[in-house]
């Protein structure tokens, strides 16, 4: 596939190009060697069944043995949120935003994307946001919407959705809404950057890729895209974080009222929601 009209002439994605780096931390991809600078799990480890045999009444998942549980616990502590499913939703959306940003940035700027095979992509669950990612080997793939969907949706977000739903009882519809929201946000930031820097071809490609991916069967119906603005049909539960409001693309215009005492009991923290 030919590179995008205003991209670099060759699909050299190693190390991260200056143009991608200038977009901000969500678009960065570490490719230094050795990879990573200290032993870290891969995303294949994160999607695998977790270690649920932690001893004691307050298990503390280990980073290497159960990276997904480690990340969810870290997010819960940072947000001071008592409901684990809220932290799981926020953690999943943050990782989705990183994966979309890396692939959209490379596709729009270079016409190619890196092969983000989960066994080659290392993740630091103990880092602050945005999530740190290291890729062992850079193998360029075509930058069309179908390839991007394979790289992100099928290879990463599908198994991540299964894992988060199974372990934290977050509704799959909510998680796919998170994935769509993260995609729209990455596309919007890339489009703004390209317009500010006079790269109209990159802006157009980012907009077209985002729209095409949101029409994918896994994301279709999750929300409405108008230009680069997105309004989702589900809620990520962030409003349940103490002191937080609703997100800019939320289906709610204001945080829902807490249930009245005379109302039916609210679902338990382990119940599906969204």
* Count of CB atoms situated within 10 Å of the CB of 110: 24
In a domain, 270, yes or no: no
Q: What is the pLDDT of residue 273?
A: 37
Q: Which domain holds residue 160?
A: 17-46+66-240
In a domain, 11, yes or no: no
In a domain, 271, yes or no: no
In a domain, 51, yes or no: no
Residues of the chain with pLDDT under 50: 1-12, 15-18, 53-58, 261-274
Distances (CA, A) of 136 to 38, 69, 143: 13, 23, 20
Q: What is the pLDDT of residue 91?
A: 97
In a domain, 259, yes or no: no
Distances (CA, A) of 197 to 28, 151, 201, 217: 18, 28, 11, 33
In a domain, 253, yes or no: no
In a domain, 267, yes or no: no
Q: What is the pLDDT of residue 136?
A: 87
115 and 146 Cβ atoms separated by less than 8 Å: no
220 CB-side CA count, 13 A = 4
Total domains present in the chain: 1
Where helices occur in 113-252 by DSSP H, the ranges are: 145-148, 158-168, 172-196, 200-214
47 CB-side CA count, 13 A = 18
Task: Compute the C-alpha angle 216/182/225, nearest 5°.
Answer: 55
Q: How far apart are CA 141 and CA 115, in angstroms?
A: 6
In a domain, 199, yes or no: yes
């Amino acid at each position: 596939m030919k590179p995008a009209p205003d991209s670099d002439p060759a699909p050299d994605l190693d190390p991260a190009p200056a143009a991608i780096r200038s977009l901000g931390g969500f678009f960065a991809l570490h490719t230094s060697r050795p990879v990573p600078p200290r032993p870290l799990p891969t995303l294949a480890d994160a999607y695998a069944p977790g270690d649920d045999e932690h001893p004691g009444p307050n298990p503390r998942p280990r980073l290497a043995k159960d990276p997904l549980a480690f990340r969810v616990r870290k997010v819960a502590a940072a947000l001071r949120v008592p409901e684990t499913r809220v932290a799981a939703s926020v953690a999943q959306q943050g990782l989705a935003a990183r994966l979309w940003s890396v692939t959209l940035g490379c596709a729009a700027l270079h016409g190619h994307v890196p092969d983000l095979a989960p066994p080659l992509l290392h993740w630091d669950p103990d880092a602050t946001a945005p999530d740190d990612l290291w890729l062992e080997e850079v193998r360029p793939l075509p930058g069309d919407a179908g390839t991007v969907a394979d790289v992100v949706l099928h290879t990463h977000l599908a198994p991540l959705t299964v894992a988060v739903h199974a372990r934290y009882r977050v509704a799959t519809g909510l998680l796919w809404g998170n994935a769509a929201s993260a995609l729209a946000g990455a596309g919007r930031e890339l489009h703004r950057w390209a317009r500010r820097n006079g790269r109209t071809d990159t802006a157009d490609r980012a907009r077209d890729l985002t729209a095409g991916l949101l029409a994918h069967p896994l994301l279709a119906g999750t929300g409405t895209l108008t230009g680069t603005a997105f309004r989702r049909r589900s809620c990520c539960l962030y409003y349940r974080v103490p002191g937080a409001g609703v997100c800019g693309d939320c289906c709610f215009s204001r945080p829902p009222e807490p249930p009245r005492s005379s109302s039916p009991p609210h679902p338990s923290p382990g119940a599906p929601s969204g």
